[in-house]
Chain A
Amino acid sequence: MIHLGSNTKSRIVSKGISAGKSQNSYRGLVKVNGRARGVRNFSQCDSLLLGDQCGAHTFPYIEVDNHTAQVEHEATTSKIGEDQIFYCNQRGIDTESAIALIVNGYAREVLNKLPMEFAVEAQKLLALTLEGSVG
C-alpha cells in the first residue's frame, strides 16, 4: 500500500489459515510519501492454526516519510479450541463440519467483501481444502 496523496486512508485485512504442516507468512508494505500529510492506515493480520504442526508468521513493513501519518498494525493468532469443537458436536454437528463452520466464521469478514460468485466459490474451496486436514 503506497500513499502518495495527502489525507488518504487505507485498511488491510489479512486472514491466514494454516493446516497440516503448512507455514503461512504475511508480508505487507505500507509506504507513506514524504509529501503526503495526514495519511491513515490500519492493518490487521489474523492467523488461524489447525493442528499443532503448522505455523504463522507476520512481517509488516512500514516506511513512513511524513510525521503526520498514523499507521497502525494489529496481529492475532488463534487456534480452533477443543471446546469449540465439542460445543458443535454436542449440538449434533460432526467434527469436520464444525471445523468448516468455524473457519468460515473466521474468514467471514473477508469473504463478505467479495462479490457473491467469488464468495460462494471461496467458501466451497475452503471446505474442500480442509477436508481431512484434522484427524
Chain B
Amino acid sequence: MLTINNLHASVAGNQILKGINLQVNAGEVHAIMGPNGSGKSTLASVLAGRDEYEVEAGEVSFLNQNLLNLSPEDRAREGLFLAFQYPVEIPGVSTTNFLKTAVNQVRSYRSQPVLDAVSFLQVMKEKMKLVDIDQSLLKRSLNEAFSGGEKKRNEIFQMAMLEPKLAILDETDSGLDIDALRIVAKGVNALKTPSNATLVITHYQRLLDYIIPDFVHVLYKGKLVKSGPKELAYELEEKGYDWIKEDQKNLTA
C-alpha cells in the first residue's frame, strides 16, 4: 500500500530525513518510535504533503501512485489521513460543517454521490459512538477551546468519517490521560479492517498496549535504524533509546 524508498527530506535547509525505507501493507499496523528530534513528525508531514518540507531524494508510492506528485488534498482524497499532533483551531466553523465539506469533497473526487444533510447526520451518529463523542462538541467551533483529549478524540472521529486507507497517527497519545487514551485506541482498533493500514508515531510504549502493532521501527537521526516485532517496543521502554544510540556509534566507528 505504502512504499517509501530512500526518502530524504529537509525543512528550512536542515536535512531531517536521511534515507527512510519502509513498506506498509494493507491490514498492518506499524509503529514508529524514536527520541525527540529524530524526524518522526517530519516523516508524517512529508507524507501528508506539508509545504515547508522539501523532499530531496527518494520515492514514495501510495496505492501504486507517486504520492509526492499529488497535492495535499488529493493525497487525502486518495485515502491518506493524518491525525495531527496539534490539531488547528478554526473559529466559527463547527466540526459538523467542516466534516460535511470534507466528506463531500472526498466523495465527489471518488465519483460517489454527495451526502445530503440528513444522510450525513445519520452516518455521523453511527460514527460518534466509536469515540464516545458528544453531539454538543460537534456543534462547537472546530478545536476551539477543546481540551487536549477532546481534540484527539475529534481527530479520530474525523478519521472514522473519512474512512482512510492509510491513517498516520502523529503522537496521538501526547496530552491524553489513561481514559482518553483507551477511548482513542478503541476507536482506532474499531476502524481497523484488512484493507486499511495504520502508522502510529509515538514516544512511548504505552499507546502500543492498546493499539497492538505488527511491526515496530525505531527512527533515529533521520533513519530507521531498527525494526522488529512488537516486543521491540517493550525492550525500548525498558532500556530507553540510549542503547540504540550506542549501537549506531559502534556501527559508524
Identify the A interface with B (CB < 8 A): 81-84, 86-95, 97, 101-102, 104-109
Contacts and interface: CB of A to CB of B under 8 A. Distances in A.
Contact of B73 (A81, A82, A92, A102): A92
17 contacts: A81-B88, A83-B88, A86-B88, A87-B87, A89-B71, A90-B73, A90-B82, A91-B99, A91-B102, A91-B106, A92-B105, A92-B109, A93-B102, A101-B97, A101-B98, A106-B92, A107-B92
Interface string B76-92: 11000110100111111
Most buried by B among A86, A97, A108, A109: A86
B93 A105 contact: yes
B141 interface: yes
A86 B47 CA distance: 13
How big is chain B's contact interface, by range?
20 to 34
A94 B82 CA distance: 16
A102 B93 CA distance: 7
B98 A89 contact: no
B49 interface: yes
| A contact face: mostly helix, strand, loop, or mixed | helix
B162 interface: yes
A94 B49 contact: no
B105 A97 contact: yes
Nearest to B106: A92
A87 B102 contact: no
B50 interface: yes
A112 B38 CA distance: 47
B72 interface: yes
B46 to A, nearest CB: 13
A93 B73 contact: yes
A108 B92 contact: yes
A88 B106 CA distance: 12
A90 B92 contact: no
Contacts of A106: 91-92
